[in-house]
Structure 1
Amino acid sequence: MPSAIRLTPPALLLALASTGAFADTDLLTRDTLTGDWGGLRHQLEQDGVKVTGDYSGETAYNAHGGLHRSARYSQNIKLGVQFDLSKLYGLDNAGKVQLTINDRRGNSASEELVGNRLPIQENYGGLYTRLTELSYERTLFTPALNVKLGYMAMGNDLGGLDSGILCNFMNAGFCGHPLNMSGGSGWTNYPNAHLGGRIKYDFSPAWQLRVAAFNVDPQSNGNSSRAWHLGPKHTTGTVVPVELVYKRLAELAGEYKLGYYYDSSNVKRIGSSKEVAGRGGHYLLIDQAVWNDPAMPGRSLHAFGQYSASSEAASPFTKWYGTGVVLYKPFANRPRDTVALGYGRAVQNPRSRDVLQEAAFDAGQPFPNIDGAEQLIELSYGYQATPWLNLRPDVQYIVEPGAFSGKDIDNALVLGLQVKASF
């Protein structure tokens, strides 16, 4: 791996910011850390080549409960380039090619400090450099039909809210798609990518249908030896999600998603040596503005909701409930800041609990009287320090951290800081 990626995040940001080639505009007002590269970046985009780069760092300190008092840090660096073939070759509707590389490093506060199921740091996992997308996208036959093919993560286009409201949180239980979907099927978390295709069709400005099909290849998930292999190692089936999207186009705007997915893979039933043919699930996601401040344009309060249910035969947890609110522009002089408060509940599969209980009895150990669900309360403040830098102090309170491991672990209070920067 190049040594530049191994620089500590503060040193890396300082090195980039202080490089003379990038000092063409004021550091505090430009859109990206490295600026316009003396006009080169803008010219490249005009010609059809858009270069992007993002860093996120998440530090979490376990202040009470859990397993240990200490802190853990994880980071994600994403570099991408998009080729607009219409601009590059002077063709009509030639489409776009997206190439993205991702690198993750660090340690897990959930695994090492708290012992809970829902990752406290959403950017932890798959700690190596990998190809995360190589895709081709274009409209087909009509502007209402958009097609995307290639090697990519499912969550880029399905299973989450397009508004991005859920990533005002640091815990992966909120940021992204409901985790029981990937826990009990071939639906994979970013940055795990697989071969597949996605179709979007606009019935109207408000209604859209999304359908996709992705190869299921569990042996490649989180496998560093497969970091640059587009083809599957061992295909078990195909996962097909179908999603109906409604965008409420009004003063109080909203986004509603109703989805269903089916994985054709044969897998073992939990607590049994028998196999189940196929796994499925469904979900409902909502982001609805409930208040706009008439005296302060841009200041609004949004409420969100998540519900997801997955196969009881093969999913470690069968249901996820999430709800909360996000206040945009909390202060007149802070137009891009946010305040977010969320509550989530991950319900363990009773079959998984039975397996843990039987294993404890067989070992002659008592099984603790704990709840069959892990609960999460999270509060964060997103401080947009510059157009390219966001600082997010974060507090998470985790109830029944040992629900999924069958261990009696005290409720945990975790203090965190998320840093996001665009290069």
Structure 2
Amino acid sequence: MPAPFMKYRSAWARGAAPADECQGDIMNKRKYNGDAKSRTSFGLVVVSLLSLTALAHPALADGDCEVTPPGFWERDTALGSFGGARTELCKKGVQLGVTSVNEMLANPYGGVSHGGKGQGRMQFDLDIDLEKMAELKGTTLHAGAMWIYGGRISGKNLGNLMPVSNIEAIPSRRLFTLWGQQVLFDDMLSVRLGQLAVDDEFVVSKLSSVFVNSTFGFPFGISGNLPSGGAAFPMPTPGARVKLNLTDEVSWMTAAFAGDPAGKFDVRDPQWRNHDGTTFSFSRGTFYITEGAYAVNQEKNSKGLPGTYKLGAWYHSARFNDQHFDNLGQSLASGNTTGIGNPVRGNGGVYFVIDQMLIKGQRWSEEGLGVFLRGGVSPSDRNQVPFYLDGGISYKGLFAGREEDTLALGVGYGQLSGSLQGLDRDTRQINGQPTRPVRDYETVIEVTYQAQITPWWTIQPDVQYVIHPGGNIPNPGAGSQFTPIGDTFIFGARTAIKF
């Protein structure tokens, strides 16, 4: 992708205010100082240790220490139990695992350029139950690391705001989550502290998790408004989370995270600033989020249809900049502008999540026809995405003999702010460019089929269509400021293996 487009897109795609977070030349990504090299070495050591241990003793599925995995095609992990070693480790409180996800995606037309990209992620996880290991009741530890590799089709081919893959990131070997958790009062209260990812627990829709596009995970309506995309894949941050299970149906949780997962600003892309996951920065304020949930008919013998309903809110304490007017009240498109958006203190929004089964399957909540809907709003002056909505439908076990397969259709819509539209219209008028594109929205439509070949292996054909990639911005590959990036069609397949 041309360097000018990288500069233009990154300032908005990650929710950063232009005056504070304007991105520089991507070539600066290779300029590491001594501290960065030390952090990289630390991250590589963690990844290597987890890799060697996990390959020797792959993780038990679902934490079941008593069940010995059966034959090759029936067991839960590809490498099996290693003569019972996995079961013995689990009984001692240690579980280790490796999951490999690889995909090939291509866009035959539309976007900034055409072509295909292969990309992948190898994830390593270590979980320690200190109640089994050291009789510390309710205490667990977790560490995760990742090896990310491949082509980044959204970043290089499409120019869109909602990456078409939820494993897409700058190639790296990085530490991911690292935390300890204490459960109290018969599982009524749990406290988690360490390096956390907000999308592990918050704004989660169970029914949307099957999709490949990133917005169906951590929604663009929040990630697009936070510095460096927020504390989510691939960059968690130091944080703390408290969860309270009030009844079997009602729960509440709240958390605080460091404000910018990339750390102190410099000219590089945020993912290069925290390239190995060991920045552990507390810079740029604090991100708070709280969420209440009501889950009904979750038991297998329930007479009603399963449903989960969530309502949440978030707040960021840092300074954000107005996206239309500078600190002297002039349009940022003006020739006399200072180039510094009018500063405003704080940012926030509210959201909801609905998961509802419509037709139950033989195994109740695990199979059948379900729908999901998520949405959120936030202030338009300091956010690029003041309104967001996604939803869809999925059917697990649609075909006889394929009870583990899932067919799903999802649509995600991100409306860009009126402030950005006002800035674009000023640019039109001031420069005498009446046909210059004005940013408005981006929409993604995805159809996917996840086929469970074995309990440890899935294959997933996937088709996506992106309308107004980048929100209707000029196409840097068109040689003209008046031609927007064209709607694009993406197709491909993903495979995932649990070792």
Same fold (TM over 0.5): yes
- Equivalent residues of 1:137, 1:147 under 8 A apart: yes
1:54 aligns with 2:99: yes
Q: Counterparts of 1:295 and 1:77 in 2: how far apart (Å)?
A: 31
- Find the counterpart in structure 1 of residue 289 from structure 2: 241
2:276 to 227, 231, 237: 227
CA contact (8 A) 1:293 1:299 kept: yes
Q: Determine the C-alpha separation between the residues in 1 that align with 2:383 and 2:365.
A: 44
1:159 matched to 2:203? The reply is yes
- Counterpart-to-counterpart distance in 2, 1:295 and 1:387: 16
SS at match of 1:192: coil
Cα distance in structure 1, aligned partners of 2:364 and 2:288 = 44
| Partner in structure 2 of residue 20 of structure 1 | none
| Native 8 Å contact 1:128 1:224 kept in 2 | no
The aligned runs of 1:252-291 (5 Å cut-off) are 252-271=305-324, 272=326, 273-291=341-359
Residue matched to 2:215? 173
For the aligned residue pairs, the C-alpha RMSD in angstroms reads: 2.8
Q: Please state how far the C-alpha of 1:153 moved relative to its aligned partner.
A: 1.1
Give the SS at the match of 1:354. helix
Deviations 1:89-124 (A, max 9, x none): 13433x000011112111222232222211011111
Query: 2 CA distance for matches of 1:170 and 1:298?
Result: 20
Cα displacement (A) at 1:299: 4.2
Compared CA separation, residues 58 and 366, structure 1 to 2 (3 A): farther
Assess if the C-alpha contact under 8 Å between 1:320 and 1:346 holds in 2.
Answer: yes
Q: Tell me if structure 2 keeps the 8 A contact 1:374–1:403.
A: yes
Query: Where do 1:51-200 residues align within 5 Å?
Result: 51-93=96-138, 95-161=139-205, 163=206, 165-174=207-216, 176-186=217-227, 187-200=230-243
Matched, 1:212 2:212: no
Cα distance in 2 for partners of 1:65, 1:316 equals 23
More strand as a share of residues: 1
Question: What's the offset of the Cα at 1:70?
Answer: 1.1
TM-score after normalising by structure 2: 0.75
CA separation of 1:280 and 1:330: change in aligned 2, threshold 3 A? same
2:373 aligned to which of 294, 305, 321? 305
Q: Secondary structure at the match of 2:121?
A: strand
Q: Tell which deviates more after alignment, 112-121 or 181-190.
A: 181-190
DSSP-derived class of the 1:44 partner: helix
In 2, Cα distance between the equivalents of 1:405 and 1:125? 22
Match of 2:245 in 1: 202
The answer to whether the Cα contact below 8 Å between 1:356 and 1:406 also exists between their aligned partners in 2 is: no
- Which of 40, 43, 51 is residue 88 of structure 2 equivalent to? 43
Count the aligned residue pairs: 404
**Structure 1 residues 353, 153: closer, same or farther in 2, change over 3 A?**
same
Q: Which moved more, 1:44-53 or 1:269-278?
A: 269-278
Distance between the aligned counterparts of 1:198 and 1:343, measured in 2?
30
Displacement of 1:285: 0.8
Distance 1:115 1:239 in 2: 27
Distance in 2, Cα, partners of 1:306 & 1:130: 30
Q: 1:34 to 1:139 in 2, by over 3 A?
A: same
CA distance in 2, matches of 1:108, 1:342: 22
8 A contact 1:213–1:238 mirrored in 2: yes
Of 308, 323, 329, which residue of structure 1 is paired with 2:391?
Answer: 323
Where do 5+ consecutive residues of structure 1 fail to align? Answer: 7-11, 18-23
What's the offset of the Cα at 1:145? 0.6
Rounded Cα–Cα distance in structure 2 between residues aligned with 1:228 and 1:344: 29
Query: Structure 1 length as normaliser, TM-score?
Result: 0.88
- Contact 2:128/2:141 (CA < 8 Å) preserved in 1? yes
Q: What CA distance in whole angstroms lies between the structure 2 residues aligned with 1:372 and 1:67?
A: 18
> Which secondary structure does the structure 2 equivalent of 1:36 belong to?
coil
- Measure, in 2, the Cα distance between the counterparts of 1:225 and 1:306: 30
Shift of 1:27: 2.9
**Match of 1:21?**
none
1-structure distance, mates of 2:365, 2:273 = 47
Which is worse superposed, 28-37 or 288-297? 288-297
Report how far residue 136 of structure 1 moved: 0.6
Which residue number corresponds to residue 489 of structure 2?
413
What is the alpha-carbon distance in structure 2 between the residues aligned to residue 364 and residue 39 of structure 1? Answer: 74
Q: Is 2:74 aligned against 1:32?
A: no
**1:298 Cα deviation (Å)?**
5.9
* Equivalent residue letter for 2:119: S
Aligned to 2:25: none
Which stretch of the first structure deviates more once superposed, 297-306 or 97-106?
A: 297-306
Matched, 1:346 2:414: yes
CA–CA distance in structure 2, aligned partners of residues 288 and 296 of structure 1: 12
Secondary structure (helix, strand or coil) at the match of 1:223 reads helix
What residue number does 1:332 align with? Answer: 400
Counterparts of 2:110 and 2:391, CA distance in 1: 24
1:342-367 deviations in whole A, cap 9, x for unaligned? 11211011212333444466566554
Report the secondary structure of 1:168's partner residue. Answer: coil
Provide the rounded CA distance (Å) in 1 between the counterparts of 2:409 and 2:175. 34
- 1:239-283 per-residue CA deviation (whole Å, 9 max, x = no partner) reads 110100110124310111110000111122213322110000111
1:166: Cα distance to partner? 1.3
- Measured in 2, the distance between the counterparts of 1:295 and 1:156 equals 25
Out of 380, 398, 403, the residue aligned to residue 466 of structure 2 is 398
Q: Does 1:379 align with 2:447?
A: yes
